[in-house]
Amino acid sequence: MLELIKQPWHWSVAGAVIGLMVPLLLILGNKHFGISANLRHICAACFPGNIPFFKYEWKKEVWNLFFAAGIIIGGFVAAHYLHDPAQVKVAPALAADLAAVGIDDHTELIPSQLFNWDNLLTIKGLVFFVVGGFLVGFGTRYAGGCTSGHAISGLANLQGPSLVATISFMVGGFISANLIVPFLLKL
Amino acid sequence: MSNSIKEKNPRIITSPEYKHSDFEVRSLDTHCVNASEKEVPLWYNLKYMAAGILFGAVLVKSEVISWFRIQEMFRLESFHMYGVIGTAVVVGAISVFLIKKLKIKTIRGEEIDFQDKKYNKGQVIGGLIFGLGWAITGACPGPLFAQLGTGATVVAVTILSAIAGTWVYGKLRDKLPN
């Protein structure tokens, strides 16, 4: 059984469990599944400045910070106790493109040749960690949610604005992954 | 909250009118949509941490946190992520339908409420910006936290930068098209 759990999970199993987060949080306490709001709560809690957007009772939203802390713990548990020693399967075309820029280590889900501390103070690191993260934080808040809040929670509640947001996420991703990331990897 | 802030910013509403205030004010900013009417001790939130642990573990085991999977999704080289998100939406939608239909309440007997989101320009502009970032980092906010948990410590920089991005959005908010 444990061996089975350690293998990469099929998309249908993962999708079902992720989808069940929506009713689980609603039934646990009328909470709406959405993670990017935590970035705002952290701003409100730590450095609200005098910015109206961060002047609210973030303590009422503390459940979500507990949820986010749980995600970190869950990531730790899965990586340390349910680790799959097999190589990560990578689509041949992607593997070939990455190999051309020196990324050929498929032992981790996150390519260690790109995501490591040594890269932090290089142009590449600046772009992949700092600029990438900034776009995620700025964009999700401007859009009013991320994949969880719009694409899953919002679409599950048949919200048109969430469909618009989800399509925009995908369009941005297509442009980035096909036109921008290949260029950035050569930096 | 001081009255002067409230006067300057009519969008900010303090409880108890909070709960019953215009949903748009709260939902656009996704804060206090979830505010419970009942005060609870802090440890009560541990149930949400338990849910988060399950969610985080699933994100890792299903390779949603994988930078490779996100590239494959946007390069149309793998069905995996479409399967995950599509299944999640269907399961979520059926669940929401049943909760509404059967008027299911929370475990503490509170009504579960749903509010409609309003269209705004941010969903397109912000959505595109997030999409650009998503393909670069290979992670949206949930997976960023899970990646950190797996031991990819450098992702802490990405998360801090995402917090900075959120802060700058808050700072510039009134000057951006809405």
**pLDDT per position as a tens digit, A82-91:** 998 899 999 9
Residue B31 has pLDDT above 50, yes or no: no
Look at residues A61, A83, A105 and tell me which one is the last residue of a structural domain: A83
| Residue A6, in any domain of the structure | yes
| Cβ-defined contact of A71 to B146 (cutoff 8 Å) | yes
Q: How far is A186 from chain B (nearest CA, A)?
A: 13
Residue B109 touches partner A, C-beta closer than 8 Å: no
Residue B134 touches partner A, C-beta closer than 8 Å: yes
**Which residue type does B48 have?**
Y
Look at residues A83, A103, A130 and tell me which one is the last residue of a structural domain: A83
H helical segments located in A30-159:
37-46, 62-81, 92-99, 123-125, 132-143, 155-156
Residue B21 has pLDDT above 50, yes or no: no
In this structure, are A79 and A147 located in the same domain?
Answer: no
Residue B128 has pLDDT above 70, yes or no: yes
| Residue A55, in any domain of the structure | yes
Return the pLDDT at A154. Answer: 96
**Closest alpha carbon within chain B to A43:** B167
Range of the domain at A78: 1-83
**Which of 10-29 (B) contact A at CB < 8 A?**
11-12, 14-15, 18, 27-29
In this structure, are A18 and A75 located in the same domain?
Answer: yes
User: How many residues appear in chain A?
Assistant: 187
Residue B120 touches partner A, C-beta closer than 8 Å: yes
Return the pLDDT at A4. Answer: 86
Return the pLDDT at B167. Answer: 98
| Residue A121, in any domain of the structure | yes
Q: Which among A46, A154, A43 is positioned nearest to B115, based on CA atoms?
A: A154
In this structure, are A4 and A62 located in the same domain?
Answer: yes
To test the contact with chain A by mutation, choose from B1, B19, B28, B31 the residue with the greatest count of A C-beta atoms within 10 A, namely: B31
Query: How far is residue A57 from each of residues A43, B4, B110, B119, measured CA to CA in Å?
Result: 12, 16, 21, 25
In this structure, are A78 and A2 located in the same domain?
Answer: yes
Cβ-proximal residues to A65 (8 Å cutoff; 6+ apart), any chain = A38, A41, A42
For residue B142, what are its two tokens? 């949930």
Q: How far apart are CA B15 and CA B32, in angstroms?
A: 10
| Residue A43, in any domain of the structure | yes
| Cβ-defined contact of A28 to B116 (cutoff 8 Å) | no
| Residue A30, in any domain of the structure | yes
In this structure, are A78 and A140 located in the same domain?
Answer: no
Look at residues A59, A83, A107 and tell me which one is the last residue of a structural domain: A83
| Cβ-defined contact of A134 to B147 (cutoff 8 Å) | no
Q: How far is B177 from chain A (nearest CA, A)?
A: 10
Rounded (5°) CA angle B60-B73-B92: 65
**pLDDT per position as a tens digit, A34-60:** 999 999 999 999 999 999 999 999 999
**Which residue type does A152 have?**
I
| Cβ-defined contact of A139 to B148 (cutoff 8 Å) | no
| Cβ-defined contact of A136 to B130 (cutoff 8 Å) | yes
A94: number of Cβ within 10 Å = 18
| Residue A94, in any domain of the structure | no
Q: Which among A164, A82, A2 is positioned nearest to B126, based on CA atoms?
A: A164
In this structure, are A63 and A134 located in the same domain?
Answer: no
Query: Could you tell me the pLDDT band of residue B148, with boundaries at 50, 70 and 90?
Result: very high
Q: How far is A132 from chain B (nearest CA, A)?
A: 5
Q: Which among A148, A18, A158 is positioned nearest to B84, based on CA atoms?
A: A18
Give percent helix, percent strand, percent coil of chain B, each to the nearest 5.
65, 0, 35
| Residue A79, in any domain of the structure | yes
Q: Which helix (H) or strand (E) holds A55?
A: none
Q: What is the mean pLDDT of chain A?
A: 95
Residue B63 touches partner A, C-beta closer than 8 Å: yes
HEC secondary structure over A143-166: HCCCHHHHHHHHHHCCCHHHHHHH
In this structure, are A8 and A74 located in the same domain?
Answer: yes
In this structure, are A72 and A123 located in the same domain?
Answer: no
Structural domain count, chain A: 2
**Model pTM score:** 0.89
Q: How far apart are CA A82 and CA B126, in angstroms?
A: 36
